[in-house]
A and B are shown apart, each in its own frame.
Chain A
Amino acid sequence: MILPPADTGTEVKVSEQPRLHDDTRFAGPKIAIFQYAGVAIFLFLISGFWKLQIQNPQFYDERAQANSIKSVPILAPRGRILDRDGRVVVDNHSSFSLILARESLKEDHLRPIAQGLDLDYKDLSARVRRFKSQPKYVPIVIKEELTPADLAFVDSHHEFFPELVLIQAQRRLYPQNGMLAHVIGYTGEISEDELDTPEFAKYDQGDVIGKFGIEREYNNTLMGVDGQRQVIVDNRGQVRQVIGNKPAVPGKDIQLSIDLDLQVVAELAMDGRNGAVVALDPRTGEVLAMVSRPTFDANKFAVRIKAKDWKEIADNPEHPMLNRAIQAQQAPGSTFKPFVALAGLETGTIDDQFTVHCAGGVALYGRFQKCWVYPKGHGSVSLHRGIVQSCDVFFYTVGAKLGIDNIAKYASLAGMGELTGIDLPHEAAGIVPSEKWKLRNFRQKWYAGETPSVAIGQGALTVTPLQLARAIGGVAMDGVWHHPHLLRTLDKSETPEVWQLNPDNVSKVVDGMYGVVNEGGTGGRARIPGIDVCGKTGSAQLASNDYLKGTAAGRYLKDNAWFEGYAPCHAPEIVVVALFEHGEHGQFAAPIVRDVMKAYFDKKARLSTEAQQGQQNLTAKLAGVAGLGLPQAVPAPAPPKPAETNLIFHEQADEPAASQQ
C-alpha cells in the first residue's frame, strides 16, 4: 500500500503558528477519567447481560418458547347418533371455527376483530377475560360456522391479527323441525356451574358437552378426546414447523332403539297438538318412538344459543323444553282402569261374575260420584263391559272394595310412582297415593272417600306417558316389566321386574281392552284391520269442579286425552301411549296410537315380504335403505315411505327420498 504524498501546504501553515497552548498533556487526567468512564460503561453493559443470561436464563428461555410455540387444538368429532336400523339421526358437518391464540393476542385487536366478524365486542372481551385464569396455550373459540365473508375477513387480515387461527370443527347437525329433539337433546359449551360438578370435572373451559337428552346421558361415549398440534410459528402466526401432533380420538357412534319410521309417524300424528307419544317394545323395553310436543330446534343450540332464541324458548308458556314423555306427570284417567281391574282379580276382590249397576252415578262414602255418561247410565256392568265402556261406576265400586293400598300395590308393581330408569336425564316419577303416602306428605289419614277417584285414575294419582306404556306393556306380558331404554344394546344384561300374574286374570283384562278397540268401545278409532289391537282410552280431568269448567274458558281446563294401546293382544310386540293435552276425550288420542302401530306392522309386513323375494332382491333393497341413512352431502336420513310431508330431518332430504321410491 502506497500512500499518496501528503498535502504539505496546510501543514506548513499550521506548524508556523505559535505552539502556545497546543500541548495535549493538559487533558491527560481528563482522558483518564474518560477511560474510567468507558470501563464503567462496559461493566454496566456486561452486568446487564450477566443478569439476563447467567442469573435467570431459564425464565427467558421459557418466555422465548411461549413466544414461538402455539398450540392448535384438533377438535374430536362427536360420535353420530343412529337409529335402530343404522340410519343417521344426528351427524356432524365440518365447518370452520375461529380461535384466538392467546399467546399472541393483543387486547386492542379485539374491537376490530369483533367488528370484522360481526361479534358483540362486550361478549368477546368478557370471554377473553373469563379465560384469564387458564394457561396461555388454551385457545378461545370465538366463532363457529364461519361464513364465506368471515373467512375472507380472516384471510385478508392475517398479518394484522396473527392471533386468529382457523380450525376445522365438527358441528352438530340435528333433525329439522324439532324432530326427536327431546330424546337427542343438544350440546353446548360447558358452563361455569357445570365445570364445578363432578360429572363434568374432567372437562375444561370451552369444551362442548352434551347438555340435554341422549347427548348428555351418553356424553362420555359420544365425546371424543381433542387432539393438539404444537407448532412453531413466527411473529406473524405463520407455521414454520410442526413439533408435536396428538391426533384427536373421535367419539363413538351410538345406536338408538328408536325406529325412525315410527318416530316420523308419531311426530306427524302429534302435529299441531301438545302432548307426548311413547312407543315401546314390551319384550325388551326398547323405546321405538318418543315424541314430546311442543318441541324446539336443537340446531339453535348446536354450539352456543343466541340470547334471543333462548329467551323465546324459555319464556314460552307451553315449555317446549319439557320432555312430556318422561316429565309430564298427569292423571292417567281411565287408562288406569285396567290396573284396577287386574288388582281386583288378583286379590280376589272380584271375579268375572261380579257386576255393578250403573245408573249414571253411585253414592259412595256420602258422596254421589258421577259416571262419565251421566245423566245416562250403563245399566248392569260386568268386568268386561266395565273396561270396554269405561264405566266409572264399576271402577268406583271395585276401587272402594279394594281399598287404596291394594290399588297402590298394583300400581307400584307396574312401575308407577317410581322412575323407570330410562337413559335420559330429568325423568319424573309421578305419584301413586297410598295411606302411607298421605301420612308422610300431608300428615293426614287417608279418607276412604278419596279412593274411588284414584280408582278411575284421578285424584292424586299421576303418571308419565313412559310409565304408563311400561306399565301396560308389563301387564300384557303377564307380569314382566322391562326397563325402558333408548340405547340399542345387544347384550341382555337388563333384568326386568317380574311379578307372576295369573294368566287367566291377565287375559280377562286383555279381553276387555280388546273390546275397547274392537267391540264398539271408547277406543274404536285405534282399530287396525287384520291386527289385534288392545287399548284403553283415558280422559283425565284437570279441574274436577264443574263450576270451574263452566267459567274458566280455554283449552287449559279441557280434559287431557290419553290412549294406551298394544298389539297383538296375546303376544304383544309394541306398546304405544299417547297423551294429547286438552284433547277432551281419550278417543281423540286413539288415532295417534293407531298410526304408530300401523306403521310398525306395515314395516314388519314389508320386511317379511322382502325377505321372501330372494337374496338378490333383498340385498338391493337393503342397500337402498342403508343408503338412505348415509347421504354424503346432506347428512339426512330420508323419511320413511308413508311420510309425504314437510316433517323431515333436513330440508334438502327430499331428493334422496324421491330416488328411493
Chain B
Amino acid sequence: MARYLSRRDIDWPLLLITLLICAVGVLQIYSATRDTIWQDAWWKQILYVFLGLLLMWIIMVVDYHTLLHHVTLMYIMSVLALAGTYAIGKTVFGSRRWIPLAGGFHLQVSEFVKLVIILLVARYLTELKKDELELKEMLKLAGLVVIPTALVLKQPDLGTSLTYLAVLVVGAFLAGLRWKYIAVIGVVTVLVLPITYSFLKPYQKARLVSFMDPERDPQGTGYQLIQSQIAVGAGGMFGKGPLKGTQTQLRFLPVPHTDFIFSAFSEEHGFVGVIVVLSLFFIMIMRIVQNAQTAPDRAGMYICMGVAALLLFHMLVNVGMVVGRMPVTGIPLPFMSAGGSNLWSNFLALGLVNNVRLRRFVN
C-alpha cells in the first residue's frame, strides 16, 4: 500500500507534443493578429499556457478517485453555473458563454463542464460493474448528460454542447452498449434530427444550409466556409510562408486566431505543415488512448478515453470545418486556438490523463 508518485511517470512525450502544438499555436496567433485589436493575444496565450500547466499540475496530484467521489457535487455546481451563465453571462457574438471575473477576464463555464462530464460518465459506468450497458442505464446516464447539454445549447453554443454528447457516446460504446441498441439509437437520432432542426436558431440553420451549399450565399453565411477553403487551398504544398498569407493577413479569414486558426496555419505553412501538426495531434490522442489501456482500473480507463474522445471530436469538427467538411459550429482547436478557457480545460484534461497514469502501478 505504500504509495509514491514519481515524476518519471508523468507522460513526458505527451507533454512535449502538447507544448509543441501550443508553440505552433502561439506563433500562428502572432501572425494572425498582427496590427489588429487582438495583437496582444500571442503573449497572453503564453501566459495561459503556463497557467494551464499549473492547473494540470494541481489536478494531477489529487487522486482521480477523490475527484470521482465528489462528482455529484461538481455536477450540481456545473448545472447551476451554466444556468447562472445564461442569466448573467456576457454576450459575445450573440451568445452568452462567458462569466465575467475580476480583472476583465471572462470564463467560459461550459469548457470546464466538459471535465465534469468526463468524470460523471467515468464514475457512472464504473459503478455499474458490468460488462454490458443496459438501455435503461444508458438512458439514465444520457438524462444526466442532456441537462448541461441543453443548457449550453441554449446559450447558444452548439459546438460545445455536442462535445458532451461525444464523451457520452464513446463512454457508452466502451461500456458495452449492445449493437442492437446502437442501431436503435442511430435510427431514433435520424428520426429526431428533423425535429431538432426546427429547434435550432436561425443562424444555426443557416450554417447548416450553407455547409451543404456554401456557394449559395457566398457573402453571407457561406462566407466563412468559403474563405477558409480559399485560405487552405491557396497554401498549396509549402504554404505562403509565415506572415504572408493574404487570406489571414488581410482578414478575409474570419477569426483567424481562434476557431479558424488552422486555416491560417494551412495558408501560411501548406500541406507539409498540416501533415506535421496533424501528426502531432494524432500521436497526442493515441498516447492518451495508450494511457487508457494501461489504466489501473475502469474509472481511469473511462477518464482517459473520455479525454481522447473529447480531443478527437474537437479535431474532427474544427479541422473538418476548416476544410469545408463540417458545418461551422464554432469550437476551438485544442491547444492552438487563442483563449484561456478552452486551453485550461484541455490542460486539466491532460492532468486527468496524467493523474491516471501516475497511479497505474498502484496495485
Contacts and interface: CB of A to CB of B under 8 A. Distances in A.
A574 B138 CA distance: 111
Contacts of A240: 250
A65 interface: yes
A234 B65 contact: no
Interface string A7-36: 110111111000011111011101101110
Contact of B246 (A20, A50, A65): A65
A633 interface: no
Contacts of B219: 106-108
Contacts of B65: 10-11, 13-14
Contact of A22 (B173, B249, B285, B297): B297
A6 interface: yes
A48 B289 CA distance: 25
Given A6-B61, A235-B252, A1 B297 contact: no
B339 to A, nearest CB: 22
Interface stretch (A55-63, A221-229, A392-400): A55-63
Interface string A229-252: 000111110001000000000000
A7 B301 contact: no
Nearest to A52: B233
A520 B362 CA distance: 140
A4 B58 CA distance: 10
A3 B8 CA distance: 11
Contacts of B131: 21, 26
B212 interface: no
A175 B307 CA distance: 81
Given A38-B282, A49-B232, A54-B237, A44 B325 contact: yes
Contacts of A59: 233
A60 B234 CA distance: 5
Nearest to A40: B316
A60 B117 CA distance: 41
Nearest to B363: A15
B271 interface: yes
B298 A22 contact: yes
Given A52-B323, A64-B247, A67-B250, A57 B66 contact: no
B233 A42 contact: no
Given A7-B66, A22-B297, A46-B275, A67 B247 contact: yes
B278 interface: yes
A329 interface: no
A41 interface: yes
A319 B3 CA distance: 110
Nearest to B62: A7
Contacts of B292: 24, 31
B270 interface: yes
Given A2-B7, A38-B285, A107-B219, A31 B230 contact: no
Interface in B172-205: 173-176
A21 B131 CA distance: 7
B63 A11 contact: yes
Nearest to A232: B250
A7 B232 contact: no
Contacts of A2: 7
A28 B6 CA distance: 27
B362 A45 contact: no
Contacts of B7: 1-3
A68 interface: yes
Nearest to B248: A64
Nearest to A20: B129
A15 B174 contact: no
A31 B236 contact: no
A458 to B, nearest CB: 70
B174 A31 contact: yes
Contacts of A544: none
Nearest to A61: B234
Interface in B224-253: 227, 229-237, 246-247, 249-252
Contacts of B89: none
A644 B293 CA distance: 106
Contacts of B66: 7, 10
B319 to A, nearest CB: 5
A548 B71 CA distance: 114
A12 to B, nearest CB: 7
A53 interface: yes
Given A38-B312, A49-B323, A63 B174 contact: no
A67 B246 contact: yes
B308 interface: yes
Nearest to A66: B230
B223 to A, nearest CB: 9
Contacts of B322: 48
Contacts of B285: 38
B130 interface: yes
Contact of A49 (B176, B247, B271): B271
A45 B250 contact: no
11 contacts: A10-B63, A15-B1, A21-B131, A34-B308, A44-B316, A45-B316, A51-B323, A52-B233, A53-B232, A60-B229, A236-B251
Given A38-B286, A51-B323, A235-B250, 11 more contacts: A11-B359, A21-B298, A22-B126, A22-B297, A27-B174, A34-B170, A34-B174, A41-B316, A44-B320, A57-B237, A67-B247
10 closest residue pairs by CB, A with B:
A60-B233, A48-B323, A57-B236, A64-B234, A52-B233, A234-B250, A21-B129, A53-B271, A10-B66, A106-B219
Interface of B: 1, 3-7, 60-63, 65-66, 69, 126, 129-131, 170, 173-176, 219-220, 227, 229-237, 246-247, 249-252, 266-267, 270-271, 274-275, 278, 281-282, 285-286, 289, 292-293, 295, 297-298, 300-301, 305, 308-309, 312, 315-316, 319-320, 322-325, 358-359, 362-363
